[in-house]
Chain A
Amino acid sequence: MSAAEHALGLTLHIWRQPDRTTPGKMVTYKVSGVSVHASFLEMLDILNEQLTERDEEPVAFDHDCREGICGMCSLMINGRPHGGRPATTTCQLHMRFFRDGDEIWIEPWRAHAFPVIKDLCVDRSSFDRVIAAGGFVTANCGSAADANDILVPKDQADHAMDAAACIGCGACVAACPNGSAMLFVAAKLAHLHHLPQGQPERLHRTQAMVTAMDAAGFGNCSNHYECEAACPKDISRDVIAKLNRDYARAALVSRERDDKSGGSG
């Protein structure tokens, strides 16, 4: 293969927005000499180098590990979170899936709960607030029994791991027409609720995280399941059914508890 076959020229339409409050707009750039072996973010690096040479301010985009695990990268690529390839984050999306001359539209996550900070970067701290409301097992350091005292059936450990693989990137929210965080919240709950360690706080955790999710401004789930299709870690929508079941139980139990405390008061 010749060198020319390895290099792409592309037309990029990119969302530029200087800060949270200033309105943004799509701006068109040409980028050339992109190797098909480069990742999508490396393609943006090349664009930014070319912009810098022309004295234009580079495009801001979030990224860190560039190996698909930290969850920092995002991007709507041609309307699909992370570009829409199965189980692939933007940093792991390679340019061999694009053709010379392609036009590509690149936007930030669009969701009420993820305000744009600049260009393609959004504020996802709402996810942290949801986790802080209950996405943990209360186990102070030093208080643990021997690890093998807690037996976990292998299939349950595997289910827990499947759900725990969530990287908190927010693609599920960006894909959802309602901007709902159900897949993210349900994945954390499923991780902990497949394990014996998660049982004591199960119902309280479910209620607390759902309440925090609503307070953070995420929309409701209306079963579109775009989230599952967009998830770069293949989290199954089954976790949402599990959440709904626990949430119903939690509502029932808390009503019973309220009735009892009302009776004795």
Chain B
Amino acid sequence: MTLKLQARIPSGPIEQQWSNARFEMKLVNPANKRKYKVIVVGSGLAGGAAAATLAELGYDVACFCFQDSPRRAHSIAAQGGINAAKNYQNDGDSIHRLFYDTVKGGDFRAREANVHRLAEVSVDIIDQCAAMGVPFAREYGGTLANRSFGGAQVSRTFYARGQTGQQLLLGVYSALARQIGVGKVKMFPRTEMLDVVVDPATGRAIGIVVRDLVTGAISSYAAHAVVLATGGYGNAFYLSTNAKGCNVTATYRAYKRGAGFANPCFTQIHPTCIPVSGDYQSKLTLMSESLRNDGRVWVPKSQADIAKHPDQIADEARDYYLERKYPSYGNLSPRDIASRAAKEQCDEGRGIGPGGRGVYLDFRDALRRDGEDKVREKYGNLFDMYERITGENPYKVPMRIYPAVHYTMGGLWVDYHLQTTIPGLFCLGEANFSDHGANRLGASALMQGLADGYFIIPYTLGHYLAGIAAKDLADPASAAFRAVEGEVTARIDKLVAVRGKRSVDSFHKELGLLMWEDCGMARSKQSLSDALSRIPALREEFWRDVTVLGGKDSFNQTLEKAGRVADFLEFAELMCQDALVREESCGGHFRVEHQLEGEAKRDDEKFCHVAVWEHAGDGVAPVRNIEPLTFENVKLATRSYK
């Protein structure tokens, strides 16, 4: 172990740690803030909120995104909602309960102090979003409405129809746009970060190297600190619910420059997605977890019934397996558990639809109980989306769903200040590892993104900047930047020069299928070892036989994809290595060798820690470092939803 993993968890009882930390943190004089340059990469909930808020405080901010506008970041696709411990429903919620649910939901692989802080600031997030005009759902009296989500027995999820992510992101975007309008944020859309620059003398992050996606120009930007909020790496599986552009490049490049990468094998498979329909398929579409409030999940009890029309299968012949297996949480069991249960039914040959890879999500009872109008009001846009994609009307026929890759809990290791192992390089939102352990609960990603961006980084970044002099701004023309620019350019030249026979997508699809089979919902020593031998061969073939048509000095979407797939081809190996060493099952990481009656079996003696991978050079095995986890406020226990 060579990484210094100091989590900087504040002193005192957990309820006071964030408050103590805020008091202990140094401040930057308001008149000096404008002298500090901050780079934010990504404009989703975490990055957009950070850029806007840091600019409101007075810092000189530059924000980068690869989309044509910051309003399009993938946070926009989140459907169901955002959790907050408001206890507006008077149903027993509290900051401590949200903290408890999140630690337990994450199967005891998250850092207690971070999670408690997340629960604390959750209430401020709702206030802030409401003040900015986010059109949350309301009750007739004008107060905010709530609904329930998986892994919780209280109603703490705030929502805006089935478009909560969109509305929260448009709120963030509006705040960001305001700062762009007054010149406090310089926005760089259609610009992709391709590397981070670390000062060889001090070891601090001093800037980034980017490619202008329209002109192809490579250039450098210097700053006093760099904030990465670049999302997750679910597209390592090719098919996922992520947007097509989501990629690991920013965080993986940071890893190669010395930032530790934590728990890369922790990926979330979401139980309710529209099943795969063919090999032309480019992505999978999620059907919000909120549907499980009213939809009941089932498969036929008998294999003989799988081809029958669902209407012809009597209640006695249906297996509502979540209600059967987990009576207290039922259809609202957490995502990892619901996904595995679906796989189990299909593995037993009771799956429905093409290829037997599907289960029913049935609204019959809700439609009978509440009527079509009520159901339409709650879920109308999701039902419409389902019908557009499948051509089937879910008011008449049950939805067919199957698990799909959705979110990645792993990410760059960060301390309590959200700083990576590279000083001056911070990481927020899905891109970091910190709050969700081995499984994220529904409606908690939006909460974490906004917590990090609105309420945490404005404090912790200030503390960092207070420790460095404003005059110490790197020169983007200096040797350190030139060297990285040279490496970035060489890599692009190499990609364009291969001129082989196979398309970028064909490699991405092959990698994705391999990862889904060997490092997906169920993993074994054998499947992972197999993947670890096949990935390097595929990578070698990629660099020998990929074809990237079009030039490098112009708009070239194939080249963009090629760079991202090249990084996935390296990163996938890290995911499998991490999964292989973690000889336990926890949350979304299910090792078939470690189970108890079909449930995940943790090994707290050996694995109650964060695995933090350290790059040791190309072609050299990475080093596995450890941050031990201690549970002082939530008792380490077997997670049960029965």
CB contacts (< 8 Å) of B549 on chain A: these are 52, 55-58
CB distance from B351 to the nearest CB of A (A): 19
CB contacts (< 8 Å) of B160 on chain A: these are 161, 164
B-binding segment of A66-74, A245-253, A256-264: A66-74
How far, in angstroms, from A227 to B233 measured CA to CA in the complex?
A: 37
B-binding segment of A138-146, A175-183, A214-222, A236-244: A138-146
CB contacts (< 8 Å) of B506 on chain A: these are 49
CB contacts (< 8 Å) of B170 on chain A: these are 164
How far, in angstroms, from A214 to B547 measured CA to CA in the complex?
A: 44
Q: Does A27 contact B (CB under 8 A)?
A: no
Verify B163–A165 contact, CB threshold 8 A: yes
The total of interchain contacts (Cβ-Cβ below 8 angstroms) comes to 217
Verify B554–A19 contact, CB threshold 8 A: yes
How far, in angstroms, from A64 to B243 measured CA to CA in the complex?
A: 5
Partner of B555, one of A19, A45, A70, A192: A19
How far, in angstroms, from A79 to B88 measured CA to CA in the complex?
A: 50
Verify A67–B385 contact, CB threshold 8 A: yes
Max chain A C-beta neighbours (<10 A), residue from B88, B503, B558: B503
Contact bitstring A32-71, B, C-beta under 8 A = 1, else 0: 0011011101100110010011011110101111111111
Closest A residue to B377 by beta carbon equals A158
Verify B142–A141 contact, CB threshold 8 A: no
CB contacts (< 8 Å) of B166 on chain A: these are 69, 165, 167
Contact bitstring A134-178, B, C-beta under 8 A = 1, else 0: 011111111111111011111001001100110110000000000
Verify B72–A71 contact, CB threshold 8 A: yes
CB contacts (< 8 Å) of B558 on chain A: these are 52, 58
Verify B142–A153 contact, CB threshold 8 A: yes
Verify A70–B174 contact, CB threshold 8 A: no
How far, in angstroms, from A39 to B461 measured CA to CA in the complex?
A: 44
Q: Does B10 contact A (CB under 8 A)?
A: no
Verify B67–A70 contact, CB threshold 8 A: yes
Which residues of B, 126-153, contact A by the 8 Å Cβ criterion? 126-133, 135-144
Residues A49 and B131 in contact in the complex (CB < 8 Å), given A69-B166, A144-B124: no
CB contacts (< 8 Å) of A161 on chain B: these are 135, 137, 160-161, 167
Verify A117–B555 contact, CB threshold 8 A: yes
Q: Does B350 contact A (CB under 8 A)?
A: no
CB contacts (< 8 Å) of B244 on chain A: these are 63-66
Closest B residue to A36 by beta carbon equals B391
CB contacts (< 8 Å) of B127 on chain A: these are 144-147
How far, in angstroms, from A217 to B140 measured CA to CA in the complex?
A: 42
Closest B residue to A87 by beta carbon equals B384
Residues A148 and B69 in contact in the complex (CB < 8 Å), given A64-B245, A69-B77, A141-B175: no
Q: Does B423 contact A (CB under 8 A)?
A: no
Contact bitstring B156-183, A, C-beta under 8 A = 1, else 0: 0000110101110010011101101100
Verify A197–B130 contact, CB threshold 8 A: yes
CB distance from B389 to the nearest CB of A (A): 7
Q: Does A92 contact B (CB under 8 A)?
A: yes
Verify A141–B53 contact, CB threshold 8 A: yes
How far, in angstroms, from A167 to B173 measured CA to CA in the complex?
A: 12
Q: Does A11 contact B (CB under 8 A)?
A: no
Q: Does A195 contact B (CB under 8 A)?
A: yes
Partner of B505, one of A45, A56, A143: A45
Verify B68–A144 contact, CB threshold 8 A: no
Max chain A C-beta neighbours (<10 A), residue from B131, B142, B163, B283: B131
Q: Does B19 contact A (CB under 8 A)?
A: no
Total A residues in contact with B, Cβ cutoff 8 Å = 77
CB distance from A45 to the nearest CB of B (A): 6
Q: Does B277 contact A (CB under 8 A)?
A: yes
Partner of B130, one of A53, A68, A133, A147: A147
Q: Does B282 contact A (CB under 8 A)?
A: yes
CB contacts (< 8 Å) of B161 on chain A: these are 161
CB distance from B160 to the nearest CB of A (A): 6
CB contacts (< 8 Å) of B142 on chain A: these are 151-154, 157
How far, in angstroms, from A34 to B280 measured CA to CA in the complex?
A: 8
Which residues of A, 179-232, contact B by the 8 Å Cβ criterion? 191-192, 195, 197-198
Verify B175–A135 contact, CB threshold 8 A: no
Total B residues in contact with A, Cβ cutoff 8 Å = 80
Residues A150 and B131 in contact in the complex (CB < 8 Å), given A69-B77, A70-B72, A141-B56: yes
Partner of A88, one of B124, B132, B388, B547: B388
CB distance from B613 to the nearest CB of A (A): 29
CB contacts (< 8 Å) of A143 on chain B: these are 131
Verify B74–A64 contact, CB threshold 8 A: yes
Contact bitstring B557-591, A, C-beta under 8 A = 1, else 0: 11000000000000000000000000000000000
Q: Does B214 contact A (CB under 8 A)?
A: yes
Partner of A141, one of B139, B283, B455: B455
Q: Does A128 contact B (CB under 8 A)?
A: yes
How far, in angstroms, from A72 to B213 measured CA to CA in the complex?
A: 15
How far, in angstroms, from A19 to B214 measured CA to CA in the complex?
A: 9
How far, in angstroms, from A140 to B142 measured CA to CA in the complex?
A: 23
Q: Does A24 contact B (CB under 8 A)?
A: no
Verify B384–A118 contact, CB threshold 8 A: no
Partner of A137, one of B132, B140, B384, B454: B132
How far, in angstroms, from A133 to B170 measured CA to CA in the complex?
A: 15
Verify B68–A147 contact, CB threshold 8 A: no
Verify A128–B130 contact, CB threshold 8 A: no
How far, in angstroms, from A56 to B547 measured CA to CA in the complex?
A: 11
Q: Does B52 contact A (CB under 8 A)?
A: yes
Closest A residue to B88 by beta carbon equals A148
Max chain B C-beta neighbours (<10 A), residue from A19, A42, A55, A161: A161
How far, in angstroms, from A53 to B549 measured CA to CA in the complex?
A: 10
Partner of A164, one of B135, B180, B458: B135
How far, in angstroms, from A140 to B55 measured CA to CA in the complex?
A: 10
CB contacts (< 8 Å) of B74 on chain A: these are 64-65, 70
Q: Does B299 contact A (CB under 8 A)?
A: no
Verify A142–B128 contact, CB threshold 8 A: yes
CB distance from A50 to the nearest CB of B (A): 10
Q: Does B335 contact A (CB under 8 A)?
A: no
CB distance from A167 to the nearest CB of B (A): 8
Q: Does A106 contact B (CB under 8 A)?
A: no
Closest A residue to B74 by beta carbon equals A65
Q: Does A123 contact B (CB under 8 A)?
A: yes
Q: 10 closest A-B pairs (Cβ-Cβ)?
A: A151-B142, A132-B181, A136-B174, A144-B131, A147-B130, A144-B127, A157-B138, A160-B135, A161-B135, A139-B131
Could you list 9 examples of A-B contacts with CB < 8 Å?
A: A42-B282, A49-B503, A55-B547, A64-B244, A71-B72, A147-B86, A150-B131, A153-B142, A161-B160
Task: State the B residues within 8 Å of A (CB).
Answer: 49, 52-53, 56, 67-72, 74, 76-77, 86, 88, 124, 126-133, 135-144, 160-161, 163, 165-167, 170, 173-175, 177-178, 180-181, 187, 189, 214, 243-245, 277-278, 280-283, 285-286, 384-385, 388-389, 391, 454-455, 458, 503, 505-506, 547, 549-550, 554-555, 557-558
Contacts A70-B74, A168-B72 known; 5 new A-B pairs at CB < 8 A: A58-B550, A60-B555, A135-B177, A141-B56, A195-B135
